[in-house]
Amino acid sequence: MADIFDVVVIGAGPGGYEAAIRAAQLGFKTACVDDWSRADGKPAPGGTCTNVGCIPSKALLQSSENFEEVGHAFAEHGIGVTGVTMDVAKMMARKAKVVAQNNDGILYLFRKNKITFFHGIGSFAGKDGDGWKISVAGGAPAEISAVNVIVATGSKPRALPGVAFDNVRVLDNDGALSIAAVPKRLGVVGAGVIGLEMGSVWRRLGAEVTMLEALPSLLPTVDTTIAKEAQKLFTKQGLVIHTGVKISDVKVGASDVAVTYADANGNVQTATFDNLIVSIGRVPFTGGLNAEAVGLKLDDRGFVTVDDDCRTNLPNVWAIGDVVRGPMLAHKAEEEGVAVAERIAGQKPHVDFNTVPWVIYTSPEIAWVGETEQQLKARGVDFRAGSFPFNANGRARAIGDTRGLVKMLADRNTDRILGVHMIGPMVSELIAEGAVAMEFGASSEDIARICHAHPTLSEAVKEAALAVDGRTLNL
Ligand SMILES: Cc1cc2nc3c(=O)[nH]c(=O)nc-3n(C[C@H](O)[C@H](O)[C@H](O)COP(=O)(O)OP(=O)(O)OC[C@H]3O[C@@H](n4cnc5c(N)ncnc54)[C@H](O)[C@@H]3O)c2cc1C
């Protein structure tokens, strides 16, 4: 007789594993099925985020940032360093260790919360009364039953039409995070979040990086003030960014990749690279689920169709994270996972996409929450804007990184904060204040009246709030 679980989560990415933990906390008998394996075949829960996404990319960003700092920023502090070298294999080994620590951490959390973990591919095997039969295929095949199923199967990289990833010359995110030696010429197709982060890693380590972006401007979803500043700073760093390009041909050779494209003026160009990272977005992943057999509805782009509460068309089947509509972000997946577990328990949680923060971990970092100036204008909202540059912030000067600014947008009539946009040092951490403020419906005056420690980068947030009312103190 098959084991019967109250909740079975398929996928142990950030959405799935947190859904499982919350379900277990709420007293449900919970299982989680995930097929990701380490090189030695052992389970590697954590999904894209832990294995080939957020965590390894941040590990490499830190290593490459340290390398660049030693070479370029230490001298100003009076620190003389000669003979700096970069051991890529060691950097990769450190990255692998960081990933493994996170895999192990999740396995520990499963044990701690008494969640049964199945390593293998989970698929629908038909109905079981009001619930569902789930088959697990893999090293230890199993048949289990679930009263509720949470589909959290994530996403996979989108390839250029007709150009398959080989992860030798044409790299997806996995390949981009595992290049064995710094390429001399690196091409990046798609200057979005992942492209910019990966391009930054390899540029810092010495690659000549050329980014080919189809859209007419860099980072069109980012507030234009911030996007313009980013373009200026990234170009100064040596990233070559071509926007408005149309790729017509990619020839993969034994030792290089030739990309032919029309530039923004319509002139045909060919660029040759040692490696080409393709980061043109991600597509939902439902392969292996046997979704068709049970009639799980997908939309025309392959996302599992869900309502605002993550309910699918099938009774007691929910779906969360990258496999459903909404921002493809780990923390969005986590919030949805927790919310679904609570809904199964009869609670009424709410996930507001407008207060989901976004971060790009370039140097300087870019972060934002809420609406951009261009979105507010398009909606005809009457707003006030205040901004404050880090070059007027004492802590930023002391750290030696005064690039960027904080910009706050607030409703002109109510003063309610509508968006907070940042580019600068550690803004991935500073953006939390913007998210908290927006969740609590704060006004810019609220932030302006809150005591911020001195000297901190967070004072720039307070000053931007003061600037909304035209009364910065330090500018
Ligand atoms: C290079 C890169 C950097 C990123 N950086 C960030 C960042 O800094 N911050 C951020 O918020 N987001 C980042 N992301 C996005 C983030 O990784 C995703 O939004 C997040 O992983 C989505 O979580 P998920 O739980 O929906 O799915 P996933 O993390 O994709 O996990 C899905 C899991 O389900 C498993 N699975 C699929 N089908 C089955 C099946 N049938 N049976 C069993 N298991 C199955 C998969 O193998 C996988 O383990 C990054 C992505 C990439 C590629």
**Segment 75-114, tens digit of pLDDT:** 999 999 999 999 999 999 999 999 999 999 999 999 999 9
Ligand 1 geometric centre to CA of 285 (Å): 10
At 112-136, the pLDDT tens digits run: 999 999 999 999 999 999 899 999 9
The radius of gyration computed from the CA coordinates of the chain, to the nearest angstrom, equals 24
At 159-196, the pLDDT tens digits run: 999 999 999 999 999 999 999 999 999 999 999 999 99
User: Does pLDDT of 2 surpass 80?
Assistant: no
Decide: pTM greater than 0.85: yes
CA distance linking residue 239 with residue 204, whole number of Å:
10
| Burial group, residue 217, by CB count within 10 angstroms (0-12, 13-18, 19+) | middle
pLDDT-above-70 percentage for the chain? 100
Nearest CA to ligand 1 atom 9: 54
Tell me what pLDDT residue 62 has: 98
- Give the confidence band of 140 by pLDDT, cuts at 50, 70, 90: confident
For residue 77, indicate whether it is catalytic: no
Beta bridge partners of 231: none
* DSSP secondary structure letter of residue 443: B
- Give the confidence band of 149 by pLDDT, cuts at 50, 70, 90: very high
21, 54, 61, 351: residue to mutate for ligand 1 pocket, most atoms within 8 A of CB:
54
Tell me what pLDDT residue 1 has: 61
Mean pLDDT of 51-70: 97
φ, ψ of residue 336 to 5 degrees: the values are: -65, -40
At 9-28, the pLDDT tens digits run: 999 999 999 999 999 999 99
pLDDT-above-90 percentage for the chain? 98
Ligand 1 geometric centre to CA of 50 (Å): 8
Using omega within 30 degrees of 0 as the cis cutoff, is the peptide bond preceding 161 cis? no
CB of 336 closer than 6 angstroms to any ligand 1 atom: no
* DSSP one-letter string for 6-69: EEEEE--SHHHHHHHHHHHHTT--EEEEE--B-TTS-B-TTHHHHHHSHHHHHHHHHHHHHHHH
CB of 131 closer than 6 angstroms to any ligand 1 atom: no
Average pLDDT of every residue of the chain: 97
CB of 331 closer than 6 angstroms to any ligand 1 atom: yes
